[in-house]
């Protein structure tokens, strides 16, 4: 687990970064003609001292995000190393399943496509897979005996099969090329479908494992 002291420190730093960004945005809108706030043509950009607050706060935010990512990657590797020799599943809070709502960030793609034509936010639909944490959390600290391992293999196989079927069928349908006309629309539809299928794959893997492990509950008696 991440040390509580580090988590508190990172939350505080994040709040400071957001406050600074908010302050410099207000300054740019109020006194600097919204430079670096609204989309602008950087090929003709000329530096002005009034841009400094916005530049510095953005650099600070980028630095913060990089630090956060580095910290999370380091923690993930440490956790993986610890898990490798452990006979039990990792302990995670089922409430992490709420991260699945991040999948709705994918809807942002419709907005960014309209603004500057970028379509990468559609990939965020994959985050719906985080709903699987809800079931993984319920199986926290479970002894991985042979029945668990067999159920995990079955669940992963079923999830992969479902996701691949969706990807295959959607590719087949989209490759007909006459459904919605434009190439952009087809690409966007394909990215959305693949992202949703990937999210479903991650979610189903955990959900089915939980189902297989808890199906047909037997009585608790031990006579």
Partner 1 sequence: MPAFTCQLKAYRQRKGFTQEQLAALVGVRRETIMRLEKAQYNPSLKLAIDISRAVEAPIEELFIFE
Binding residues for partner 1, per CB under 8 A?
142-143, 145-148, 213, 216, 218-219, 222-223
Q: How far is the CB of 131 from partner 1 (least distance, A)?
A: 25
Q: Which of residues 54 and 139 has its CB atom nearest to partner 1 in the complex?
A: 139
Q: Which of residues 75 and 148 has its CB atom nearest to partner 1 in the complex?
A: 148
**163 burial class (0-12, 13-18, 19+ CB within 10 angstroms)?**
buried
Structure tokens at 223: 């006579």
Which residues contact residue 177 at a Cβ distance below 8 angstroms, ignoring those fewer than 6 apart? 186
Which residues contact residue 174 at a Cβ distance below 8 angstroms, ignoring those fewer than 6 apart? 186, 189, 190, 193
Q: How far is the CB of 210 from partner 1 (least distance, A)?
A: 13
Q: How many CB atoms lie within 10 A of CB 158?
A: 18
Contact between residue 23 and residue 53 where contact means Cβ atoms under 8 Å apart: yes
Q: Which of residues 88 and 164 has its CB atom nearest to partner 1 in the complex?
A: 88
Give the CA angle between residues 40, 43, 47 to the nearest 5°. Answer: 75
Q: Which of residues 51 and 213 has its CB atom nearest to partner 1 in the complex?
A: 213
CA–CA separation, 188 and 110 (whole Å): 9
Q: Which of residues 74 and 147 has its CB atom nearest to partner 1 in the complex?
A: 147
CA–CA separation, 129 and 29 (whole Å): 38
CA–CA separation, 155 and 209 (whole Å): 5
Q: How far is the CB of 3 from partner 1 (least distance, A)?
A: 31
Q: How far is the CB of 221 from partner 1 (least distance, A)?
A: 9
Q: How far is the CB of 211 from partner 1 (least distance, A)?
A: 14
Q: How far is the CB of 86 from partner 1 (least distance, A)?
A: 14
Q: Which of residues 141 and 185 has its CB atom nearest to partner 1 in the complex?
A: 141
């Amino acid at each position: 687990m991440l040390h509580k002291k580090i988590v508190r420190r990172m939350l505080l730093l994040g709040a400071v970064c957001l406050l600074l960004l908010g302050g410099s945005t207000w300054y740019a809108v109020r006194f600097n003609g919204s430079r670096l706030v609204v989309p602008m043509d950087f090929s003709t950009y000329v530096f002005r001292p009034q841009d400094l607050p916005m530049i510095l706060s953005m650099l600070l935010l980028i630095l913060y995000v990089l630090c956060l990512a580095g910290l999370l990657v380091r923690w993930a590797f440490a956790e993986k190393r610890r898990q490798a020799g452990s006979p039990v599943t990792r302990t995670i809070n089922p409430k992490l399943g709420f991260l699945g709502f991040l999948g709705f960030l994918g809807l942002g793609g419709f907005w960014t496509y309209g603004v500057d034509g970028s379509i990468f936010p559609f990939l965020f639909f994959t985050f719906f897979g985080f709903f699987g944490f809800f079931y993984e959390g319920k199986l926290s600290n479970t002894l991985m005996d042979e029945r668990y391992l067999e159920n995990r293999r079955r669940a992963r196989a079923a999830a992969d099969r479902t996701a691949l079927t969706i990807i295959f069928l959607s590719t087949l349908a989209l490759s007909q090329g006459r459904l919605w006309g434009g190439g952009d629309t087809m690409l966007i539809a394909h990215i959305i479908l693949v992202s949703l299928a990937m999210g479903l794959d991650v979610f189903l893997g955990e959900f089915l494992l939980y189902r297989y492990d808890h199906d047909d509950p037997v009585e608790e008696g031990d006579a």
